A and B are shown apart, each in its own frame.
Chain A
Amino acid sequence: MRLIVPLQGVVQGRGGLFVGSLIPCCLFYFLQLYLKRRRSPPPPPPDSDSTELPRTSSRSSLFTRGNSIGRVRVSSRAAPLAKPPDSPYYIGLERVKTDPYDRVSNRDGIIQLGLAESTLCFDLLQRWMSDNLMESLMIQSDVDGGFDVSSIAMYQPFEGLLEVRVAFADFMSRIMGGNVSFDPSNMVITAGGTPAVEVLAFCLADHGNAFLIPSPYYPGFDRDIKFRTGIELIPVHCRSSDNFTVTVSALEQSLNQARKRGSKVSGILFSNPSNPVGNILSRETLHAILSFAQEKNIHVISDEIFAGSVYGDKEFVSLAEVAASGDFDKSRVHIIYGLSKDLSLPGFRTGVIYSFHEDVVSAAKKLMRFCSMPVPVQRILISLLSDTRFIEEYMAAHKQRIRDKHFLFVEGLKQLGIPCAESGGGLYCWVDMSSLLTSYSQKGELELFEKLLSVAKINATPGTACYCIEPGWFRCCFTALADEDIPVIMERIKLLAESSTS
């Protein structure tokens, strides 16, 4: 019988028995030595109170005040957070804050194309708010008909009032084509899409596990998911030749490579409509991803926060619908939604976790003590979302206006000879500026980003920040622009292009 000694694998062959025993002994010795060294001067045994008392007081009087004691340190995980950001996405956002463009007062400022927010339908929202805001908050008391302050002020269930969950369920099924219904009891309301992603990630994966994520992906995920949960994101590279649509074979390859490296993959995370490209995953693709996940026994998280901002001809299909259609194990399907994009209410910080997994829902409910939605906001949303006439009107206008703006923006770029990826949803487009690159590399792309920011004064998110492997792509959000801003941008890009070619 073969004798197995420690470290057998490493010291295979002759001498294995001897070396295999020696190495661990040495390692242990050094470990012990190291620990001994590190141990500070031996603490006085705390049990002998009478003898200890005078000593501590003398020590403290020696030690304290004026004596140079090192500064107290923050945790090593907070230290990188405290530093200024190094992702171009955040650098750009910061730079815009210092010198924002304004049509009237600061015409030379930086134009923001980096933040996916929409001002297209503010007029409609404004009207609704001024008509209904007070009513939505002024819940009449049952007893005396007066204002019932406890309806907004009291502690309520962390996961959201039942009314608000019902309203969300209706609203989501409406904007997702009406073919799918959502169960309010599977739903948890959070204070924003960002916390929703984090809480879900926390529930599905342990520290050190990984999610597969088709890249290019939304640069904010890096911060939202990795920061506190310690989960790794493994980009699955998609290419322009497939219009950046993920394939199962690419997923499979990344999964195998990750497993070989020893990291445990807990799930797949993707956004649909995709952020930053804006394309929509077909029913077949979703079907394929889901069967793949089932085969590998991993979770699927679909970020559908742009579901209502679909303006193209292609139909949006929710993962919930696909999960319900086939004989899939639904418990691995989780959906993230929010109103920041579709209802242009980023300030409200509304997010939704929808999960078919009972344990995930109950864990998320408990974690809501850290990021629950304030009750006054819930009250406003209940009346807003239940006003179906307004919602119909708003959604129609929202889609139409994005479509128009998208057309203007893409057309402008086309005239400059700059193409965009085909897209059908989202508040942005994915622009191929590789013709403006000085060198076809990541370095060239970052140079162009810097030039756009400081010379042309435009903040667009470079593909590098989104982990795109092909250099030269930029995400431009166009929904916060007025029609008359678009020629200004085109003019600036044109000047930049001319200066770089000459």
Chain B
Amino acid sequence: MTRTEPNRSSKSESENSGGGGGGTTAMRVIVPLQGVVQGRGGLFLGSVIPCAFFYFLQFYLKRNRKNEPDSGEPIPNPDSDSASPDPTRSQSVGNLTELASLPRSLSRILLSPRLSGGAASVSGRASCVIKGGDSPYHVGQKRVEEDPYDESGNPDGVIELGSAHTTKMDWVSEDPGEAISDGLCMSGIASYEPCHGLIELKTAVAGFMSEATKNSVSFDPSQLVLTSGAASAIEILSFCLADSGNAFLVPTPCSPGYDRDVKWRTGVDLIHVPCRSADNFNISMLVLDRGFYLAKKRGVKIRGVIISNPWNPTGTLLTRENLYALLDFARERNIHIISNEVFAGSVHEEGGEFVSMAEIVDTEENVDRERVHIIYDLSKDLSFPGLRTAAIYSFNESVLSASRKLTTLSPVSSPTQHLLISAISSPKFVQRFVKTNRERLMRVYTELVKGLKELGIECTRSSGGFFCWVDMRGFMSSYSEKGEIELWNKLLNIGKINVIPGSCCHCIEPGWFRLCFSNLSETDVPVVMNRIRKVCETCKS
């Protein structure tokens, strides 16, 4: 690679271009696009290409301008317009185009719109949102909605193992009257209240989060911002941390929801950093580094890295060393860390130690704390998805104050706030709830893993969260994404269970599936196993 010093070259360029690009051979000539057209002919090509580009650009702009339905009516007062001079288009250009296009646009208007009116179109970004409905994730969900399994009512229905729709909530049913009526008194629910959460609720949530992390760290209520659901929490953070066109690094397999939460409205891109089964899907800084460089090479600005802990979908817990390494990585690259800890309260492994990112940065300096943002979901850990309440916990004052304002766009309603305050204010209740929840998850998980093992199916060790990450590579007809989708189709249509294929989680190795067990009770496990067995048999025969 010949890399010329920019300082030296700028001088020679100005001389040369002034002379019209004569053939000076002794001194090296630098022309535009030199890097691309290195070598012989560089001078010529380097001049022609940009010229051609510019020509096409101008051509394109001209075309587009004509296409716009320029109103045929005489412009009411052209003088008034010159009062606000337009820097981009000179007067002469304006005149020229008008002259050329006026008669044509008139006739076109008469020919087309007006009467037929043409249907009003939606925005381009909305059509992207509409189109997104044909991934296995959505197809599966739809099938479950149409034909849901019910032990007594519809024993042949599709069992939902795709996403967490927990049905086992003990807390409200124990004492519904008290929990709800305590919270809903009229004075509280009807007036405008801070969208980002009442201070009572924030205190209660901070307490709950501490409890979920086994009191290893205490959370400061003033650093909390409440939003309506984890999806909007992630969206608000993406909006605050990255501009449109920037990107986040996401180690994969990752939660399938990020594609929607991050990309849809904020214009932020995701760069997937693949982790492999050989490493047990653990993230290594080496791959992150490589992802960062590749993105940088492509000219994409990386603003942060999104991790989840416990990991969704594998259920692994990040170790203290992992987290320190991540922090070092983020510090070195000067980027943010979004730590998605929505399953913090659902660590079900005996002795499994969950370490929150908040604990890691607790001892760090301010500069480092400011790059850490944590997402916490109350509806997940409370098994109350209908509540739709999540929290952003950040150490960055600017992010907090921007998020607070943005919560008017995804607010938590007062009845919900009061309901939650009464539910989680009592530490005794919280302790008991977290404990029962853990035990229940552990029982179902153990049953499930045992059942799968009997069928000869392995899965990665899951220590937290609602999922296990199942290896069904052996049952694919071909080792490819196509084989995976085929197997997924069989599971859905023959086995009547809805799972999430690895491709939805952007896993690069085919044949892995995410299985959500929080919807199941222990008695359901044999039913699921029977159905999987049925599919496995068709695969082998």
- A: which residues have CB within 8 A of B? 4-10, 12, 21-22, 24-29, 31-33, 36-37, 43, 46, 49, 53, 56, 59-60, 63-64, 69-72, 74-79, 81-82, 115, 117, 119, 122, 125-126, 129-130, 133-134, 137-138, 147, 149-150, 152-156, 191-192, 194-195, 198, 202-207, 209, 223-224, 227-230, 252-253, 255-257, 259-262, 264, 266, 294-299, 329, 331-332, 344-350, 357, 359-360, 362-363, 366-367, 369-377, 380
Contacts and interface: CB of A to CB of B under 8 A. Distances in A.
A152 B386 contact: yes
Contact of B239 (A78, A115, A262, A347): A78
B119 interface: yes
A198 B10 contact: no
B51 A191 contact: no
A6 B419 CA distance: 66
Contacts of A153: 169, 172, 383-387
A252 B73 CA distance: 10
A297 B405 contact: no
A223 B332 contact: no
B431 interface: no
B113 interface: yes
Contact of A150 (B167, B192, B402): B167
Contacts of A154: 165, 167, 385-386
Contacts of A259: 68, 70-71
Nearest to B400: A82
B414 interface: yes
Interface string B305-349: 000000000000000000000001011101110000000000000
A380 B386 CA distance: 14
Contact of B120 (A262, A264, A297, A370): A297
Given A295-B114, A298-B120, A367-B265, A147 B173 contact: yes
B426 interface: no
A114 B188 CA distance: 21
A203 B412 CA distance: 23
B436 interface: no
Interface in B383-414: 383-389, 396-399, 401-402, 405-406, 408-414
Contact of A266 (B123, B246, B405, B414): B123
Contacts of B186: 122, 125-126, 129-130
The 3 closest A-B pairs by CB, nearest first: A347-B414, A6-B54, A375-B386
Interface in B121-136: 122-127, 129-130, 132-133
Nearest to A123: B186
Contacts of B90: 9-10
A213 B124 CA distance: 22
Given A10-B90, A370-B232, A370-B235, A74 B192 contact: no
A297 B232 contact: no
Nearest to B268: A75
Nearest to B57: A6
B276 to A, nearest CB: 15
Interface string B44-64: 000100110111011100000
Residue among A69, A198, A359 having the largest count of chain B Cβ atoms under 10 Å: A359
B41 interface: no
Given A75-B242, A297-B69, A370-B235, 9 more contacts: A4-B58, A125-B186, A149-B172, A228-B239, A260-B75, A346-B192, A370-B409, A376-B387, A377-B413
B92 interface: yes
A71 B50 contact: no
B192 A115 contact: yes
A353 B272 CA distance: 35
Contacts of B84: 261
Given A25-B17, A154-B165, A259-B70, A359 B334 contact: no
B432 interface: no
A203 B58 contact: no
Interface stretch (B175-183, B212-220, B353-361, B526-534): B175-183
B147 to A, nearest CB: 16
A7 B169 contact: no
B86 A261 contact: yes
11 contacts: A9-B96, A21-B47, A129-B184, A130-B186, A153-B384, A198-B409, A347-B415, A348-B189, A359-B122, A369-B260, A373-B413
Contacts of B231: 369-370
B93 A9 contact: yes
Contact of B413 (A6, A227, A252, A348): A348
Nearest to B246: A75
A27 B13 CA distance: 12
Interface in B22-37: 30-35
Given A153-B387, A194-B409, A204 B122 contact: yes
Interface string B481-496: 0000000000000000
A78 B229 contact: no
- Could you say which of A10, A77, A363, A374 has the most chain B C-beta atoms within 10 Å of its C-beta? A374
Nearest to B299: A35
